[in-house]
Chain A
Amino acid sequence: MKITPGAVVKGGTSLAYKTGGWRDEKPVQDLEVCNSCGTCKEVCPENCVKVIEDRYSIDYDYCKGCGLCAHECPVKAIQMIAEEK
């Protein structure tokens, strides 16, 4: 593929580029422990925590595994688990 002068490329491609592939640790929720306080959604820098059917759910397509949600969760309902590739 040829390069474009000025590195001009089609914009608005963030959704097509799944940054979850950068992750080496995956946040895993224990929904029995989760009290739905929403702290994980507040602190996620990638806006990867969504509310689906009244439960907080992590979008692994874009979660980079920073671990902020696990660190901040007041009831320790999120564990960071190493991902093997």
Chain B
Amino acid sequence: MRSVEVVEGSEAVALAVKACRPHVISAYPISPQTHIVEALARMVANGEVSAEYVCVESEFSAASVVSGASAAGSRSYTASSSQGLMLMTEVIYASAGMRLPFVITGVNRCISAPISIQIDHQDAISLRDSGMIQIFVESVQEAYDAHIAAFKIAEDPGIMLPVMVCMDGWILTHSYEPVYFTDQSAVDSFLPPFKPENFLDVDNPKTWGSYAEDDVLMEFRYSIHKAMQYAKGRIREIFHELSILTGRDHGGLIESYRTQDAEIILLAMGSVAGTVKEAVDMMRSKGKKVGLVKLRCFRPFPHEDIWEAIKGARVVGIMDANFSMGSEGAVGLDLKAKVCGRPSAPKVIDFIAGLGGKDLGMQSIEWIAQKAEEALYRDEPQIEPCWVNLNPAIVD
């Protein structure tokens, strides 16, 4: 294989997983994730990957297989989307609680009903509180690199949590991009074999997730929170280490784009960040001081890094491709919670943008930046979220 090739996003993810030498892969097909696991199934069948590929009848079973395999000390991988992630939810909460460090690709797609195969982040956001680490990527190249980092993050002895790499369906999984690959020897030096302290062993039987009463249950939640806090530093270090190895730097917990002197900062996750960068350049050429914070790591929430990037701005417009019905978007809620009360904090406005694949072009992003700027000249705070490209005329 050459060091750079034009490949489909799903193939690139499968090649990254292959390079990580997984022992167990289990998945159930669902659009738009299917090509990833089809590619891995082909690689296993051809003997290119020496993993056990476990065919299952549902996503619940796929998550259960990788959870059990991980407890047995195997490097394990699965992928899913939308309804499939919903069906995995119970197992993912339990796996995080049992500190089982498998990697899962969350190919982002909206959730039924109404049924749709279009993109938004509602599926991944619905797993926000599970104790799983969530990393969002912008491009196919970033998806390839992030999967290699994900295993190292998950298996860090101080972390030991499942890691989900979230990538937008279709836009990333089904588009072809030139992708630079990392040498197998370099991946091997970066990612040592998985050797957990505890693993299922008939000669030394152990129980995972054993019964916890009211005197310790809360302490278990707190211990995962502590691992999440510790993970922030390790994720920065691991991404940095990988960037030195590959020569490709996608940022740490966040990526700041032209934020240095920006008065208006947009904050986005996933593939839309690429369009926002173009829009920022376009607005800059018109004299607008606009920048972008791309949130790479959603859980743990890197509010310290975000604050450093936005503290000099006057207004932050968050682009939430998810919506908590009856409230607002998840990133908006998080950032407001962490920014409110800080002295000289910029105004924070939540934009609900891109639900169900609603297109977000350069004009939409310029509109968001304008709305954010207009809010600066109003005295009252913008409490309610702002809906982008909404057509209220067709709503009763």
* Distance of B337 from chain A, by nearest CB (Å): 27
| Nearest neighbor of A13 in chain B, beta-carbon distance | B207
Q: Which chain A residues border B39 with CB–CB below 8 Å?
A: none
* Distance of A33 from chain B, by nearest CB (Å): 39
* Distance of A3 from chain B, by nearest CB (Å): 6
A-B contact pairs, 26 of them (CB 8 A): A3-B216, A3-B219, A3-B220, A5-B99, A5-B223, A6-B97, A6-B98, A6-B100, A6-B198, A6-B208, A6-B209, A7-B97, A7-B98, A7-B209, A7-B210, A8-B198, A8-B206, A8-B207, A8-B208, A9-B206, A9-B207, A9-B210, A10-B205, A10-B206, A10-B207, A12-B205
Instruction: Give the total of B residues in contact with A, Cβ under 8 Å.
Output: 18
Q: How far is the CA of A11 from the CA of B212 in the complex (A)?
A: 15
Q: Are B98 and A11 in contact (CB under 8 A)?
A: no
Q: Which chain A residues border B97 with CB–CB below 8 Å?
A: 6-7
Instruction: Give the total of A residues in contact with B, Cβ under 8 Å.
Output: 9
Counted as pairs of residues, one from A and one from B, with CB atoms less than 8 Å apart, the total is: 41
Q: How far is the CA of A12 from the CA of B210 in the complex (A)?
A: 12
B313: interface (CB < 8 Å): no
Q: Are B160 and A11 in contact (CB under 8 A)?
A: no
Per DSSP, chain A at the interface is mixed
User: 8 Å CB contacts to B: which residues of A1-58?
Assistant: 3, 5-12
Q: Are A7 and B206 in contact (CB under 8 A)?
A: no
Q: How far is the CA of A26 from the CA of B59 in the complex (A)?
A: 45
Q: Known A-B contacts: A3-B219, A10-B206. Give 16 more (CB < 8 A).
A: A5-B99, A5-B227, A6-B97, A6-B98, A6-B99, A6-B160, A6-B208, A7-B207, A7-B208, A7-B210, A7-B220, A8-B206, A8-B208, A8-B210, A10-B205, A11-B207
Could you say which of A5, A7, A12 contacts B212, with CB atoms under 8 Å apart? A7
* Distance of A19 from chain B, by nearest CB (Å): 12
- On A, residues with C-beta under 8 Å from B are 3, 5-12
Q: How far is the CA of A11 from the CA of B223 in the complex (A)?
A: 22
What is the 8 Å Cβ interface bit string for chain B, positions 84-110, against chain A (1 contact, 0 not)? 000000000000011110000000000
Interface centre among A5, A9, A12 (most CB of B within 10 A): A5
Q: Which chain A residues border B207 with CB–CB below 8 Å?
A: 7-11
* Distance of B346 from chain A, by nearest CB (Å): 38
* Distance of A7 from chain B, by nearest CB (Å): 5
Q: Which chain B residues border A5 with CB–CB below 8 Å?
A: 99, 160, 223, 227
Q: Which chain B residues border A10 with CB–CB below 8 Å?
A: 205-207
Q: How far is the CA of A9 from the CA of B208 in the complex (A)?
A: 7
* Distance of B389 from chain A, by nearest CB (Å): 44
Q: How far is the CA of A5 from the CA of B205 in the complex (A)?
A: 17
Could you say which of B100, B206, B223, B227 contacts A3, with CB atoms under 8 Å apart? B223
Q: Which chain A residues border B160 with CB–CB below 8 Å?
A: 5-6
Q: How far is the CA of A9 from the CA of B206 in the complex (A)?
A: 6
* Distance of A50 from chain B, by nearest CB (Å): 25
Q: Which chain B residues border A8 with CB–CB below 8 Å?
A: 98-99, 198, 206-208, 210
Q: Which chain A residues border B100 with CB–CB below 8 Å?
A: 6
User: 8 Å CB contacts to A: which residues of B16-39?
Assistant: none
Q: How far is the CA of A11 from the CA of B199 in the complex (A)?
A: 12
Q: How far is the CA of A9 from the CA of B210 in the complex (A)?
A: 7
Interface centre among A5, A6, A7, A9 (most CB of B within 10 A): A6
Q: How far is the CA of A6 from the CA of B100 in the complex (A)?
A: 8
Known: A6-B98, A6-B100. A11 touches B206 (CB 8 A): yes
* Distance of B293 from chain A, by nearest CB (Å): 32
Interface centre among B97, B99, B198, B210 (most CB of A within 10 A): B210
Q: Which chain A residues border B227 with CB–CB below 8 Å?
A: 5
| Nearest neighbor of B212 in chain A, beta-carbon distance | A7
Q: How far is the CA of A71 from the CA of B382 in the complex (A)?
A: 67
| Nearest neighbor of B157 in chain A, beta-carbon distance | A5
User: 8 Å CB contacts to A: which residues of B184-241?
Assistant: 198, 205-210, 212, 216, 219-220, 223, 227
Q: How far is the CA of A5 from the CA of B228 in the complex (A)?
A: 13
